[in-house]
A and B are shown apart, each in its own frame.
Chain A
Amino acid sequence: MTENYSSEQETERTMPISDDDLMCRFQKGDESGFRRLLERYQDRILNYIYRMVSDRHLAEDLTQEVFVRVYVHAGRYHPGSSFAPWLYRIASNMAINELRRRKRWRFVTINNNPSESDRNVVVDIKDEDSVDPEQVVQQKEASEEVSEALKKIPDKYRAPLILRELEGYDYEEISQILDIPRGTVKSRLNRGRALLETVLKRARSVNAVAF
């Protein structure tokens, strides 16, 4: 028994245990499998959901709920399939449900002045003095801009964009996660990118007038 254990430890040091293996361990009652997966994915899921709902606290609550569901519904995971798309599917459903619910109770925004936050970009370049600070500032501003623009495009375009650009999933995986055909993934990404560009262009022209 001890021998078995140490050889397992040895393997782990040389080769990380796959998500699927960890999930199978958890299904067999080993909670450490779940803890390891939580550790592996909590930040990624938080960022994905945050980009979908644009609210940090809400994103934390939803991410927490995603992992509660993984724990509770572990039995629904099919061993041998890929864990990440399954996890992202739960996360997508959580985020999309929340957005759908939010729409139902949506406020009519009276003071529509989102450009205010664009102008108050806080730039912190302390840790990055090895690279050209000018470039860092520009990159940060551009990323802030794109982050604001992302909030303004419809969710159905935002979800595949984030899964593609931030999470690096291919079309087949995105199709599985969002449960839409691959062709739809392709057209939504194309349309999403075009929309994002339009929003960015508009924001820039508004800012140019404002300054």
Chain B
Amino acid sequence: MNCHQINENLSAFIDNELSSDDTNIVKAHLIRCSSCRQQRDKMEEIGRNIRYMAPLTTPADFEFRVFAGIRKHEARRTNRFFWRWQTILLPAACLIVGILLGVTSNSVFNFPESSLLTSSESTVESDSLVAVSDQEILYDYHLGRFARRAIIPVAVDVIPESPDVFDSLSFDEQSGFDSGISPPPQYVLDNIPMRVSYERTIY
């Protein structure tokens, strides 16, 4: 192996992930090549520096927060279940009432046309920049009825996503985990607000 080939394998060498034959070849090369030795030392140093990065610890109320999240999720699931039944039972009830009364009525659970938002697919425009990332149907306890809630992220100065960055990493499609519905209200990178999102309930 020449220096270039050794370099290609150095990373796996320090991780002990080469076959024993290749390991011996790299070892033999390192004994006589100072530039590859230097390269190995640099890689090992970087690893050390990564391992020494100051660790974070979870806040004291973390377990509480997790369980609050679980309860919220369960409540949402129950609401969805009821909603699913409402979509079947209510029109059926309307139909029966309609037939009985001779009146056709299906407006009980219809949302006004203006509030219908396309779900999932995000659209980002350069100036107004209102994008709908997700929406869901929830039971609104204050109103005492079902409401459609949409999460609307708002941002400014957006540049398009470069698709090649994530080419072969797999996402939710594989494991079936959907991306979280509600992004945190706001986060900041390099002290510049990147995205402000808020939840709006639309009736």
Contact = CB atoms under 8 A, between A and B. Distances in A.
B143 interface: no
A28 interface: no
A186 B170 CA distance: 17
Contacts of B59: 60
A154 to B, nearest CB: 6
Interface string B86-129: 00000000000000000000000000000000000010100000
Contacts, number: 191
Contact of A193 (B43, B167, B171): B43
A171 B9 CA distance: 14
B53 A105 contact: no
A159 to B, nearest CB: 7
A90 interface: yes
B49 to A, nearest CB: 4
- Which size bracket describes the interface of B in this complex? 35 or more
A22 interface: no
A61 B122 CA distance: 22
Interface in A87-118: 89-90, 93-94, 96-98, 100-111, 114
Nearest to A71: B70
A189 B11 contact: yes
Interface in B133-151: 133
B20 to A, nearest CB: 16
B175 interface: yes
Contact of B56 (A38, A50, A184, A189): A50
B84 to A, nearest CB: 18
B172 A97 contact: yes
B187 A162 contact: no
B132 interface: no
Interface residues of A, number: 78
Contacts of B202: none
Interface string A33-75: 0010011001100110011001111111111110111011100
Given A100-B166, A107-B157, A165-B51, A43 B46 contact: no
A150 interface: yes
A73 B156 CA distance: 36
Most chain B beta-carbon contacts within 10 A, residue among A59, A106, A110, A197: A106
B158 A65 contact: no
Interface string B14-49: 010100000000000000000000000011011101
Contacts of A162: 50
B2 interface: no
Contacts of A47: 55-56
Interface of A: 35, 38-39, 42-43, 46-47, 50-51, 54-65, 67-69, 71-73, 76, 89-90, 93-94, 96-98, 100-111, 114, 139-140, 142-143, 145-147, 150, 154-156, 159, 161-162, 164-166, 170-171, 178-180, 184, 186, 189-190, 193, 196-197, 200
16 contacts: A39-B63, A46-B56, A55-B188, A57-B184, A62-B180, A72-B74, A98-B179, A100-B161, A102-B195, A104-B122, A104-B158, A143-B50, A143-B52, A180-B168, A180-B169, A193-B43
Given A42-B66, A196-B46, 20 more contacts: A43-B55, A50-B56, A68-B66, A68-B69, A93-B170, A97-B180, A105-B131, A107-B157, A107-B189, A110-B192, A146-B50, A146-B53, A154-B165, A156-B166, A162-B50, A166-B50, A179-B174, A180-B169, A186-B12, A186-B17
Nearest 7 Cβ contacts at the A-B interface = A190-B11, A146-B49, A179-B170, A165-B50, A68-B69, A105-B155, A97-B179
Interface of B: 8-12, 15, 17, 42-43, 45-47, 49-59, 62-63, 65-66, 69-70, 73-74, 122, 124, 131, 133, 153, 155-162, 165-172, 174-177, 179-180, 183-184, 187-190, 192-195
